[in-house]
């Protein structure tokens, strides 16, 4: 890889970066409420976003720099097995269509800011709510780290901060600057910053993909040529293929299903959902979000294009940035790099806000300072959003990059274990709170130990997310196996605890809360503290 700096691409990249930074700070003034010192304002954008903003926000949230760098990288390295990301994003929308509107309604009715707020209210259990909050925090940290890895990959290819011989400070300085900017505007503007920047990010990404999918194949002699080159490489290397081998089919299917179940358990997906104005916005979004899956399918093909273009990189994560640098004129390569860089900033901001809300509401307020005022809550959230980002930065600067990706896989295994409490709770009160806690613990324990035992060519532990499924003998996604164990333990223990008449906990929700919409009695269109006279 070249170490000389691509000046034109860098200039274009910096231009877009400065533009979104200015937008990030200006976002604090956008649709501002009279009282901005509350989590509803800072952490959920006043819960006032309509269909378009929510669509961009959710898209900006779910389709991250990691998606743009890692999905094609997986295909570049391992063939069609990397395409599991496409069916899982298709599976996820019917799933969320059934439960997200219910979560929106009950959260709006009771002023819940996080999933843990709901779990505590539904099952009357601070312990269960703490388990969900801690899992959310654990799973989000490596995810933020991966966004920073995405920015680093782009900077490396542009020749900024690359070079193994430079001292660490010079090497990581551009990343530290990007990080500082992200931290500052998230602190000042809250969720409004990524909501505004998501427009720029998605527009850039759509342009880059449209150009890449037409321009690169023309330069490479068409898709026939691209698939032929890829097939040839896999045959030679003996790894992967244009079709997943028979042995890999269980892995492919369980990974797609497990990832689909886990995606909307992440705190940042829920934060973007709860910031919307009405139930209808959520329902409309679940029907138009699959447009992103179409884009993801096209994006995945870039992995095959990188092979056909003869891209040679030691770290597959650099394959797509390198493809852009090799194929595009310098100015457009700059646009593509800006799309990936900004594609990292938006989700990193939403994730740190979501993690901060969890800590403030479900650890600080529940266990440390129960009488915290809304202004104190907001202050703590702002500080924690900084701490979470610092944690992610340390992660990136000290960990081996391959490990970071596997830690994110571990995050998926963990977050999936909150599914029975959250989604189960949205439809039924039948599960016992202690049974849910025991099921969660079993799933977490099994998932972590199983993942620890997976080795890969580069590391002894946490080398991947697939392992033999007990009793079936096929290789499958650890997260899904842990989830099945979790559900079995929860169901069996619920029968036992109900028979023993163990105390159930108080449910503060009513059946009609789950279908309430903005404007219904007790559900304000604009949640307080934004009063009727606030400027909108």
Q: What local confidence, expressed as pLDDT, does residue 402 receive?
A: 63
Lowest-confidence range among 12-16, 226-230, 357-361, 473-477? 473-477
Tell me which of 105 and 157 has the higher pLDDT: 105
Supply the pTM of this predicted model.
0.88
Q: Is 278 helix (H, G, I), strand (E, B) or coil?
A: coil
Contact 142, 73 (CB under 8 A): no
Q: What is the pLDDT of residues 417-427, one digit of tens each?
A: 999 999 999 99
Angle, alpha carbons 351-269-380 (nearest 5°): 40
Tell me which of 509 and 469 has the higher pLDDT: 509
Task: Indicate if the alpha-carbon torsion angle 193, 151, 457, 231 is positive or negative.
Answer: positive
Q: What local confidence, expressed as pLDDT, does residue 31 receive?
A: 62
Q: Which value, to the nearest 10 degrees, does the dihedral of the CA atoms of residues 186, 187, 188, 193 take?
A: 10
Tell me which of 444 and 78 has the higher pLDDT: 444
Distance, in Å, from the CA atom of 244 to the CA atom of 75, rounded to the nearest integer, reads 11
Q: What local confidence, expressed as pLDDT, does residue 241 receive?
A: 75
Q: What is the pLDDT of residues 233-245, one digit of tens each?
A: 888 877 767 887 7
Q: What local confidence, expressed as pLDDT, does residue 1 receive?
A: 45
Tell me the mean pLDDT in the region 507-519: 87
Q: What is the pLDDT of residues 517-536, one digit of tens each?
A: 877 776 655 544 333 333 33
Contact 74, 259 (CB under 8 A): no
Q: What is the pLDDT of residues 334-385, one digit of tens each?
A: 999 999 888 888 888 889 999 999 999 999 999 999 998 988 999 999 999 9
Tokens representing 302 are 């870039």
Distance, in Å, from the CA atom of 105 to the CA atom of 515, rounded to the nearest integer, reads 6
Lowest-confidence range among 39-53, 131-145, 198-212, 381-395? 39-53
CA dist 370 to 133, 267, 376, 384, Å? 16, 22, 11, 17
* pLDDT band per the 50, 70, 90 thresholds, residue 293: confident
Q: What local confidence, expressed as pLDDT, does residue 368 receive?
A: 92
* pLDDT band per the 50, 70, 90 thresholds, residue 273: confident
Q: What local confidence, expressed as pLDDT, does residue 380 receive?
A: 93
Lowest-confidence range among 23-37, 111-125, 489-503? 23-37
Q: What is the pLDDT of residues 431-469, one digit of tens each?
A: 999 999 999 999 999 999 998 888 776 677 777 777 888
- Percent pLDDT > 70 in the chain is 91
Which of these, 436, 340, 353, lies nearest to 389 by C-alpha position? 353
Q: What local confidence, expressed as pLDDT, does residue 100 receive?
A: 92
Tell me the mean pLDDT in the region 375-398: 87
Tell me the mean pLDDT in the region 83-97: 87
Q: What local confidence, expressed as pLDDT, does residue 471 receive?
A: 76
Q: What is the pLDDT of residues 156-205, one digit of tens each?
A: 888 876 555 456 666 677 788 888 888 888 888 888 888 888 888 888 98
Q: What local confidence, expressed as pLDDT, does residue 88 receive?
A: 87
Domains of the chain in sequence order = 7-402 (1.20.1730.10)
530 sits in the region (left: phi over 0; alpha: psi -120 to 50; else beta) called: beta
Contact 458, 402 (CB under 8 A): yes
Q: What local confidence, expressed as pLDDT, does residue 299 receive?
A: 87
Q: What local confidence, expressed as pLDDT, does residue 295 receive?
A: 83
Beta bridge partners of 475: 468
Tell me which of 487 and 312 has the higher pLDDT: 487
């Amino acid at each position: 890889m070249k170490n000389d700096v691509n000046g034109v691409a860098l200039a274009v990249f910096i231009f877009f970066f400065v533009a979104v930074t200015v937008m990030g700070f200006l976002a604090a003034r956008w649709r501002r409420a009279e009282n901005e010192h509350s989590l509803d304002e800072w952490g959920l954008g006043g819960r006032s976003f309509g269909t378009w903003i929510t669509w961009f926000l959710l898209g900006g949230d779910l389709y991250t720099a990691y998606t743009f760098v890692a999905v094609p990288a997986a295909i570049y390295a391992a063939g069609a097995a990397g395409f599991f990301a496409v069916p899982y994003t298709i599976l996820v929308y019917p799933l969320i269509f059934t439960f997200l509107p219910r979560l929106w309604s009950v959260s709006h009715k009771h002023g819940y800011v996080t999933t843990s707020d709901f779990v505590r209210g539904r099952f009357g259990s601070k312990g269960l709510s703490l388990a969900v909050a801690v899992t959310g925090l654990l799973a989000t940290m490596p995810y933020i780290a991966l966004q920073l890895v995405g920015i680093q990959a782009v900077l490396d290819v542009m020749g900024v901060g690359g070079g193994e011989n430079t001292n660490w400070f010079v090497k990581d300085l551009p990343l530290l600057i990007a990080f500082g900017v992200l931290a500052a505007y998230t602190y000042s503007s809250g969720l409004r910053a990524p909501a505004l920047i998501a427009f720029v990010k998605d527009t850039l990404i759509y342009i880059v993909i449209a150009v890449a999918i037409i321009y690169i194949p023309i330069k490479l002699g068409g898709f026939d040529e691209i698939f032929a080159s890829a097939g040839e490489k896999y045959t030679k290397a003996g790894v992967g293929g244009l079709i997943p081998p028979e042995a890999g089919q269980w892995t492919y299917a369980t990974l797609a299903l497990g990832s689909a179940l886990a995606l909307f358990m992440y705190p940042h997906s829920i934060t973007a959902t709860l910031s919307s104005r009405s139930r209808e916005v959520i329902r409309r979004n679940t029907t138009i979000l699959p447009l992103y899956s179409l884009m993801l399918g096209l994006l995945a093909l870039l992995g095959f294009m990188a092979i056909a273009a003869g891209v040679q990189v030691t770290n597959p994560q650099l394959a797509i940035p390198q493809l852009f640098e090799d194929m595009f004129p310098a100015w457009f390569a700059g646009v593509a790099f800006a799309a990936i860089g900004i594609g990292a900033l938006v989700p990193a901001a939403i994730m740190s806000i979501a993690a901060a809300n969890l800590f403030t509401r479900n650890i600080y307020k529940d266990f440390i300072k129960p009488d915290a005022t809304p202004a104190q809550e907001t202050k703590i959230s702002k500080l924690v959003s900084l701490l979470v980002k610092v944690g992610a930065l340390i992660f990136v600067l000290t960990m081996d990059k391959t490990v970071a990706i596997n830690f994110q896989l571990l995050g998926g295994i963990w977050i999936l274990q909150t599914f029975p409490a959250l989604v189960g709770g949205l439809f039924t009160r039948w599960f016992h709170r202690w049974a849910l806690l025991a099921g969660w613990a079993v799933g977490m324990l099994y998932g972590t130990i199983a993942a620890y035992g997976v080795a890969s060519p580069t590391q002894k532990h946490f080398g991947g997310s697939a392992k033999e499924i007990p009793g079936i003998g096929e290789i499958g996604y650890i997260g899904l196996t842990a989830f099945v164990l979790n559900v079995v333990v929860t169901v069996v223990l619920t029968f036992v605890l109900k028979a023993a008449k163990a105390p159930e906990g108080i449910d503060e929700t009513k059946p009609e809360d789950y279908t309430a919409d903005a404007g219904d009695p007790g559900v304000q269109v604009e949640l307080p503290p934004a009063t009727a006279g606030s400027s909108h």
